Chains A and B, each alone.
Chain A
Amino acid sequence: MSKLSEKAAALLSEGTVGLVIGYEQGTHGTRPKFCRKAEDAATLILNDKCLNNIGGYLTKPELIGSGKVAVTATLAVMRTVVQLTAEHQLTDGNVIVLALDGDEVLQMASIDEIKKWLAAHPEDLSDENKALLSKLKALSREERWNFWINEMNKCIKCYACRASCPLCYCNRCIVEVNCPQWIKPWAAPLSNMEWQINRVMHMAGRCVGCGACDRACPVHIPLRLLTISMAGDIKEAFGVASGTGNIDGNVLSSFKPDDKENFIH
């Protein structure tokens, strides 16, 4: 049994946690694994193929119940835990994070510990995403419009981007509100674009950049670029890094009197 499995099994048999969320090998890549008994933990793995952001399960009370829970964490999952705690969706200390440092298993129980680990392990954008982002920014406005309308044309409104996002936890989403109906429910370029603008605006300063939306998209719209671009704008305008659990409040629910306003006349 791996050290990770041993640790998870120990936490479960001691009764420290009632549930360990992790990954196991599936038929097509890795898949989430929910361990409620010590023997369930035998198949847990944690490697760079564990790409799903399982941090999203932490906001599902029907799954978590009221007890403590442990999660085996990639850096993206750790950022999710930090951000969700800052948004008061998780209680600091209720989530135990299990991470790997080489072969050793690290157990982090507080947000401060996780933040320290994250600060020491920054994660950069993939070269592919960087290249596409700078290519898009270099285009003229008309070309960018054509690029995105073409992408939005493909959207089938399956809302996989929403389902996969660990920060999309509203009980009632704007697309389900029909009085007034802000966004038409059918798949058409305009309503698809409006949906994405809404989704991304609601991520302002909160997106942890895990790329789950992007990977979940069945028609391969590079959704991640929208939030990455916005995070860049936010960093530049307000000096706030997106999705870092800013305790001063979210970017759009806080302000400074001297925020710049070079576009307002």
Chain B
Amino acid sequence: MSETNQEFEPRIVAFVCNWCTYAGADLAGTSRLKYATNVKIVRFPCTGRIDFMLLLKAFEEGADGIIVSGCHPNDCHYTSGNFHARRRWTVFRGLLDFMGIDVRRIHFTWVSAAEGAKWADIVNETVADIRALGPYDEYKSIASNFEKEAAK
């Protein structure tokens, strides 16, 4: 199938915590909710475990958008992992924006184990947003820079 006549299908990577959002996504599935299939879910023990480098690596490997999701504040399985993560993302987001990386492509959200419908909505919204923004060619062009130079 050629992609030329088709709508752009964004590639989304979701970094989610095991205890809330992963269970929420599971609930969306068992509730037979339909949502966009563009998302690849990566399960982590906690949002506190989601290293900021993972987000950069996702962009490097061709993601057009990223979802980061975990337990609502005060609901963390490990008490404070999401509080620490929240601070980290505040700082990280500011730095990325200052460096000119498109922070609109990273969606941060809290989805509990009971919010299957919210998860489906988040994915659909993210896919629609990223579809409007288009592929993240800016980042991909520098990601393959070394290979291009090596091929010269």
Contacts and interface: CB of A to CB of B under 8 A. Distances in A.
Interface residues of A, number: 47
A75 interface: no
Contacts of A189: 142, 145
A194 B56 contact: yes
Nearest to B85: A255
A145 B145 contact: no
A137 B100 CA distance: 10
User: Which of B60, B74, B94, B99 has most chain A Cβ within 10 Å?
Assistant: B99
B125 to A, nearest CB: 9
Given A142-B100, A144-B100, A198-B53, A190 B60 contact: yes
B92 to A, nearest CB: 6
A263 B90 contact: yes
Contacts of B100: 141-149
A229 to B, nearest CB: 5
Contacts of B99: 144-145, 148, 193, 197, 226
Interface in A128-163: 136-137, 141-149
Interface in A164-206: 182-184, 186, 188-191, 193-194, 197-198, 200-201, 204
A255 B53 contact: no
A264 interface: yes
A194 B145 CA distance: 14
B55 to A, nearest CB: 10
Interface of B (DSSP majority class): helix
A253 interface: yes
B86 A182 contact: no
Contacts of A39: none
A62 interface: no
Contacts of A147: 100
Contacts of A113: none
Contacts of B95: 197, 200-201, 226, 229-230, 233
A238 B89 CA distance: 13
Contacts of B101: 145
Nearest to A147: B100
A171 to B, nearest CB: 19
B147 to A, nearest CB: 10
Contacts of B89: 263-264
Contacts of B102: 141
A136 to B, nearest CB: 7
B78 interface: no
A141 B87 CA distance: 23
A42 interface: no
A252 interface: yes
Interface in B101-124: 101-102, 107-110, 122
Contacts of A146: 100
A265 interface: yes
Interface in B58-113: 60, 73-74, 80, 83-84, 86-102, 107-110
A194 B53 contact: yes
A234 B90 CA distance: 8
B97 A257 contact: no
Given A265-B107, A265-B108, A252 B91 contact: yes
15 contacts: A142-B100, A149-B142, A188-B142, A201-B52, A226-B98, A230-B94, A230-B98, A233-B91, A233-B95, A237-B90, A237-B94, A255-B86, A261-B86, A261-B108, A264-B110
Interface of B: 52-53, 56-57, 60, 73-74, 80, 83-84, 86-102, 107-110, 122, 138, 142-143, 145-146, 149
Return the 6 tightest CB-CB contacts between A and B, nearest first.
A145-B100, A144-B100, A233-B94, A255-B83, A264-B108, A188-B146
Interface of A: 136-137, 141-149, 182-184, 186, 188-191, 193-194, 197-198, 200-201, 204, 225-226, 229-230, 233-234, 237-238, 251-257, 259-261, 263-265
